[in-house]
Amino acid sequence: MADERAERRLAAILAADVVGYSRLIGIDEAGTLGALKAIRNELIDASIAAHRGRIVKLTGDGMLVEFPSVVNAVACAVDIQRGMNQRSADVPDHRRIEFRIGINLGDVVVEEGDIFGDGVNVAARLEGIAEPGGICISASVREHVGNRLDIAFEDAGEQKLKNIERPVRVYRVAFMETVARATGVAVMSTSREKPSIAVLPFSNMSGDPEQEYFADGMTEDLITDLSKVSGLSVIARNSVFTYKGRATDVQEVSRRFNVATILEGSVRKAGQRVRISAQLVDGKDGTHLWADRYDRDLTDIFALQDEITHAIVEQLKVRLLPTEKRAIEAEPTQNLDAYNYYLQGRQFYHLHSTQKALIAQRLFRRAVELDPLYARAYSGLADCAWVLFMNHYEGADPDEIMAASTTALKLDPTLAEAHASHGMALHLFGRQKDAREEFEKAIALGPNLFEAFYLYAYACRDSGDPEGAARLYGRAAELAPDDYRTLMLQSGMLRDLGRLPEFRATAHAGLKRAEQALKSHPDIPLPASLGASILAAMGERERALEWAARALAIAPDDPLTHYNVACVYALLHETEKALDLIEPWSERVNKVTRNWLANDTDFDGIRDHPRFKALLRPVD
The predicted-structure confidence for 558-586, as pLDDT tens digits, reads as follows 888 998 999 999 999 999 999 998 888 76
**Are the CB atoms for 196 and 232 separated by under 8 Å?**
yes
| Of 309, 264, 267, 315, residue with least CA distance to 289 | 315
Q: Is the dihedral of CA 542, 599, 523, 521 positive or negative?
A: positive
pLDDT of residue 405: 95
- Residue range 274-296: mean pLDDT, rounded: 87
Q: Residue 7's CB: how many other CB atoms inside 10 A?
A: 11
**Are the CB atoms for 8 and 109 separated by under 8 Å?**
yes
- Residue range 456-462: mean pLDDT, rounded: 90
Cα distance between residue 296 and residue 137, in whole Å? 48
- Exposed / middle / buried, residue 183 (Cβ in 10 Å: 0-12, 13-18, 19+): exposed
**Are the CB atoms for 16 and 127 separated by under 8 Å?**
yes
pLDDT of residue 192: 37
| Of 135, 101, 138, 134, residue with least CA distance to 119 | 138
Percent of the chain at pLDDT exceeding 70: 92
- Of the pLDDT bands very low, low, confident and very high (cuts 50, 70, 90), residue 181 is very low
Cα angle at 121 between 120 and 124, to 5 degrees? 90
pLDDT score of 103 more than 70: yes
- Residue range 114-143: mean pLDDT, rounded: 88
Q: How far is CA 345 from CA 276, 373, 424, 574, in A?
A: 22, 17, 20, 40
pLDDT of residue 183: 26
Q: Where are the beta strands (DSSP E) in 229-282?
A: 233-234, 261-270, 273-282
Beta bridge partners of 171: 137, 155
Checking 292-301 for CB contacts under 8 A at 24+ apart, the result is 297/272, 297/273, 298/269, 298/272, 298/273, 298/274, 298/336, 299/272, 299/336, 301/274, 301/336, 301/339
**Are the CB atoms for 568 and 576 separated by under 8 Å?**
no
Cα distance between residue 251 and residue 246, in whole Å? 14
Model's pTM, two decimal places?
A: 0.64
Cα distance between residue 352 and residue 363, in whole Å? 15
Helix axes 416-428, 432-445, angle to 10 degrees: 170
For the stretch 538-547, pLDDT in tens is: 999 999 999 9
Pairing type for strands 54-58 and 62-67 reads antiparallel
pLDDT of residue 147: 65
Q: How far is CA 108 from CA 8, 319, 456, 468, 620, in A?
A: 6, 37, 30, 27, 47
- Of the pLDDT bands very low, low, confident and very high (cuts 50, 70, 90), residue 41 is confident
| Of 506, 517, 509, residue with least CA distance to 547 | 517
- Residue range 283-302: mean pLDDT, rounded: 86
What domains sit in the chain, N to C, each tagged with a CATH number?
A: 7-191 (3.30.70.1230), 196-331 (3.40.50.10610), 332-463 (1.25.40.10)
pLDDT of residue 588: 62
Q: 24 vs 110, which has greater pLDDT? A: 24
| Of 532, 534, 477, 530, residue with least CA distance to 504 | 534
pLDDT of residue 184: 31
Q: Is 419 helix (H, G, I), strand (E, B) or coil?
A: helix
pLDDT of residue 542: 94
pLDDT score of 370 more than 90: yes
pLDDT score of 491 more than 50: yes
| Of 166, 174, 122, residue with least CA distance to 145 | 174
What value does the CA radius of gyration of the chain take, rounded to a whole number of Å?
26
pLDDT of residue 221: 85
For the stretch 44-61, pLDDT in tens is: 988 888 888 889 888 778
For the stretch 377-428, pLDDT in tens is: 999 999 999 888 887 777 777 889 999 999 999 999 989 999 999 999 999 8
Cα distance between residue 490 and residue 473, in whole Å? 5
Cα distance between residue 332 and residue 374, in whole Å? 6
Name the amino acid, one letter, at 433.
Answer: K
